[in-house]
Amino acid sequence: MTIYESTIFAVKQLLMSSSYYVLHRLFHIAEVHPQKIALILDSQMWTYGELIEQVERITDYLQNLKIIRGQIIYQFVERSLEMVCGFLGIMCFGGVYCPLNPTDSPSRLLSILEQIQSQYVFVHQLTFKQFPADIVKHVIFLEEILFPSSQIEDRSKLPYCVEDGPAFIVCTSGTTGRPKAILHTHRSFAASNAAYIQWNATMYTVRDQVLQLATCTWILQLSEISLPLVVGGSVVLLRPGGHLDMSYLSKTLINQQVTTMIIGPAIIRALIDFLEISQQVDTFKYVLNICITAEAINPPQWIKFLSYLNLSTTRINSQYGMSECNGVLGCQLFDVYNTTIPIGCPFVNVRCLLVGEQDDIIDKTNSTSQIGQLLIGGPTLFAGYLNDPQRTNDILITIDNQIYLKTGDLARYNERGELVHSGRADFQIKIHGQRVETTEIEDTIMNWSRDQISGCLVIKSPQNKDSLVAYIVSHSPDLNIEEIRNHCRQHLRQYMVPSHIIIL
């Protein structure tokens, strides 16, 4: 058995153990292979040994502050090596990691801070001026913690993990206008990583250079960071704004020899546009594994995208997940030219049901056309919405003494028994890979002036699936559309702002 094969075997054995945790595995790899490259950002690199040293500095600093275990700690930083270090350091200490996006509007940021009410935040010098420091008592500069000359006092108690203890919070769109604060435990985080690697052990290995593309508001970012690290691979980071710069992204894929990446339709479209203009043909030269997020994709664009890949060496997978359960379904695409892309089959230990309109369970062996709502159960499920037990109860259901998450997604089985996404059962839509409650956008528009606006409907643009159209009902002939759009920019994330506003 080669070193590569023995590593894969060891990881699989660890994943089957209930005591397996991301942080324990990371510390083990750093001990065995301290000089292996863990993080890459352009010309900057950290080895596993260097990464753990910086993680230990953060945990030591938090211990010296006498912070109680389980305390929520925000991180308000741009893409960087320090971003990864802060994420791991907070969880290693026993804190609850809560990422905040520096590109969010000030009002949305305030809404999250008022809802969660933590008193600790990590910032960069570059992001400090954007943060409302008067709301949070302890503002901590990452630059002041990392690379000091002082030594770590006690390494013996790291990492600190409690199986059912809270690990991180991600905030997503909510129907009430307030973001949903989704809480995961160390158990659900470890189960998610285990499910991913058992599903496709060849996608994340000690040999792989894995691109970190998702923003911090997406739970997928945590998987892009943690999955390579638990198997001894390398994480390739992008500079701030790099995920929107297709020229830079293309060069990064080539220069860093990226082998594995997860990509959504919005980035696929942007990359195709760039590649057609630049005539760049070797962007995906080193990519061996591409995983696409399970969303509708324009068939002609998909065929164009395939033309830039070496299909003889590149494996293409599809995956499905939500912030409440992370990735739970997936499959390898064997007929890549079939533009009806499935979302896959359940990962190991993930339970999946399709429930029809009469609450009947749809059997995949009997029907390939019947549509039902997708329910997900298993150890990857979240602990609940922070401080919102009613919303938690509303989205969970018990069937045969097992707890399931009502995803709101409709699906059907294809002839291979794989699930195919078939729309939504509620008012959520998906824009740029993010689930969005249209009612949140509609309420924001209505709040601009309820005296002038009597109704609002937000839908996806029929011409561009990543654009939103807002239809506004008003008796006022002189509504200022640009003021409404600016109001949306102040209160919503950028991808939630309607591209077109039509007055009825």
The string of DSSP codes covering 259-323 is -EEEE-HHHHHHHHHHHHHH----TTTT--EEEEESS---HHHHHHHHHTS-TTT-EEEEEEEET
Q: What is the model's pLDDT at position 388?
A: 93
For residue 257, name the pLDDT band (cuts at 50, 70, 90): very high
pLDDT for 410-429, tens place per residue? Answer: 899 988 899 998 887 766 67
For residue 370, name the pLDDT band (cuts at 50, 70, 90): confident
Q: What is the model's pLDDT at position 28?
A: 86
- Overall average pLDDT of the 153-174 stretch: 74
- 3-state secondary structure (DSSP) of residue 197: helix
Token match 């008003």: residue?
474
Q: 14-18, 138-142, 439-443, 464-468: which range is least confident on average?
A: 14-18
Q: Does the structure show a pLDDT above 80 at 206?
A: yes
β-sheet bridge partners, residue 315: 289
Q: Does the structure show a pLDDT above 60 at 12?
A: no
Q: Does the structure show a pLDDT above 60 at 109?
A: yes
User: With pLDDT > 70 as the criterion, what percentage of the chain qualifies?
Assistant: 89
Q: Does the structure show a pLDDT above 70 at 81?
A: yes
Give the DSSP letter of residue 391: H
For residue 44, name the pLDDT band (cuts at 50, 70, 90): very high
- Amino acid letter for position 8: I
The span from the CA of 148 to the CA of 499, in Å, is 47
Strand order in the sheet with 72-76: 138-141, 120-123, 72-76, 96-99, 166-172, 180-185, 384-385
Question: CATH number of the domain at 436-503, out of 3.30.300.20, 2.102.10.10, 3.30.300.30, 3.40.50.150?
Answer: 3.30.300.30
Asked if 237 contacts 212 with a C-beta cutoff of 8 angstroms, the reply is yes
Asked if 105 contacts 58 with a C-beta cutoff of 8 angstroms, the reply is no
- Mean of pLDDT over the chain: 87
Compare 298 and 55 and report the one with higher pLDDT: 55
Q: 115-124, 267-276, 287-296, 305-314: which range is least confident on average?
A: 287-296
How is residue 142 written in tokens?
A: 């990452």
Compare 31 and 24 and report the one with higher pLDDT: 31
- Overall average pLDDT of the 172-176 stretch: 65
Q: What is the model's pLDDT at position 7?
A: 47
The span from the CA of 425 to the CA of 364, in Å, is 20
For residue 19, name the pLDDT band (cuts at 50, 70, 90): very low
For residue 294, name the pLDDT band (cuts at 50, 70, 90): low
For residue 443, name the pLDDT band (cuts at 50, 70, 90): confident
For residue 157, name the pLDDT band (cuts at 50, 70, 90): low
